[in-house]
Amino acid sequence: MDAFAKGEDIYCATASQMFHVPVVKHSVNSELRQKGKVAELACGYGGSVGALKAMGALEMGLKESELQPIVNSWRGANPNIVKFWWAVDRAAKAAIKGKTSTSAYGITFSYESGFLFIRLPSGRRLAYVKPRIGENRFGGEAITYEGTGGTKKWERLETYGPKLTENIIQATSRDILCHAMRTLRSCDIVAHVHDEVIIEADRGMSLAAVCEQMGRTPSWASGLMLRADGYECDFYKKD
C-alpha cells in the first residue's frame, strides 16, 4: 500500500525490501528487480522453489542455488502476509474441529451442515464440501474437502492456509471487479478479462470518467487504494 501510495514500482519495492538496498527500474540495482518480480508472483500464496521454477525463474537467468534464498528473503520482507497465511490456517482448522465459527483479520470461518464457509469482506461466502482434518504427505495436519480434482473427477482434495488465502484474495478481487461493473452498469460492457472490462462505447464517451467510476472503492473495502487505467481502440487488444 505504501509503495502504491508513493507511485513506486511494486517489483522494485519488493526487491528493495528483500535485499535491503534501493532498487530503481533502469537505474540503481535494477538487476535485482527481476528477482523481486519473480518472488512477488511466485511466493505470495506459500510458493517455494517449485513455484519459482514454474514461473520461469531458471529461464530468467536465476541459478538453482539462488532460489531458496529468494524464497526466504521474500518471506522475511513480507511478515504480515506470512502471518495472515497461518492465521487463516488456524481459524479454518478450529472451525472444522469445533464445528463452530471463528475469525481472522475480519474474515469469518464457520462450519455449517457439513460445509466450511468463508465469509469474505463483501459478505459473499466461499463453500468447501464435507471438510475434515486429515494428514498431508509430510505427516502433518491438513484440511481436506470434496471437490473436482486435476483428473476432473470428484475426489477429496487437500488445502492449507496459504492456499485458502489465495482463494480469499482471488474471490475478493472478483468482488471488486463486480462492484466496478455495477458502477458502470449504464455502459455497454461486452466482456471482462481478470481485472479488465471491455466496453463498446460511442466515441464521445469520456475515458477519464469511466476510469474514475471503475476506480471507486467499495464501502466494504475502506482504505483499499484502487485506480483504473484505460485505453481506446477500434477492436479489442492488449494495451
Single out the residue in 77, 100, 125 at which a domain terminates: 77
pTM across the whole model: 0.89
Q: Please report whether residue 222 resides in a domain.
A: no
47 and 95 housed in the same domain? no
Helix then strand count (H, E) for the chain reads: 8, 8
Q: Pick the last residue of a domain from 15, 49, 77.
A: 77
User: How many other C-beta atoms can be found within 10 angstroms of the C-beta atom of residue 40?
Assistant: 19
Please check whether residues 103 and 141 belong to one and the same domain.
Answer: yes
CB contact burial 193-214 (16+ within 10 A = b; e otherwise): eeebbebeeeeeeeeeebeebb
Coil vs helix vs strand at 183: helix
Find, among 79, 104, 74, the residue nearest to 89 by Cα: 104
Cα 79 to Cα 72: distance, rounded to the nearest angstrom = 11
6 domain residue, yes or no: yes
Range of the structural domain that residue 100 is part of: 81-165
Q: What is the largest CA-CA distance in the chain?
A: 63
Residues 85 and 132 both lie in one domain = yes
> Would you say residue 176 lies in a domain?
no
Quick check: 68 pLDDT over 90? yes
Task: Evaluate whether residue 187 is within a structural domain.
Answer: no
101-118 confidence digits (pLDDT tens) = 999 999 999 999 999 999
- Asked if the structure places residue 182 within a domain, the reply is no
Given this model, what pLDDT does residue 7 score?
A: 85
Number of folded domains in the chain? Answer: 2
Q: How many CA atoms lie within 13 A of 133 on its CB side?
A: 15
Question: Residue 128: beta bridge partners?
Answer: 116
Is residue 130 within 8 Å of 146, Cβ to Cβ? yes
| β-strand partners of 210 | none
Q: 201 in a domain, yes or no?
A: no
In a domain, 147, yes or no: yes
> Which residues on neighbouring strands pair with residue 102, listed in sequence order?
109
83 sits in which H/E element = helix 79-98
127 shares a domain with 99: yes
Q: What is the mean pLDDT of the chain?
A: 93
Q: What is the pLDDT of residue 173?
A: 96
pLDDT tens column, 19-60:
889 999 888 998 888 888 888 889 999 999 999 999 888 988
Residue 207 is assigned to a structural domain of this protein: no
pLDDT category of residue 2 using cuts at 50, 70 and 90? confident
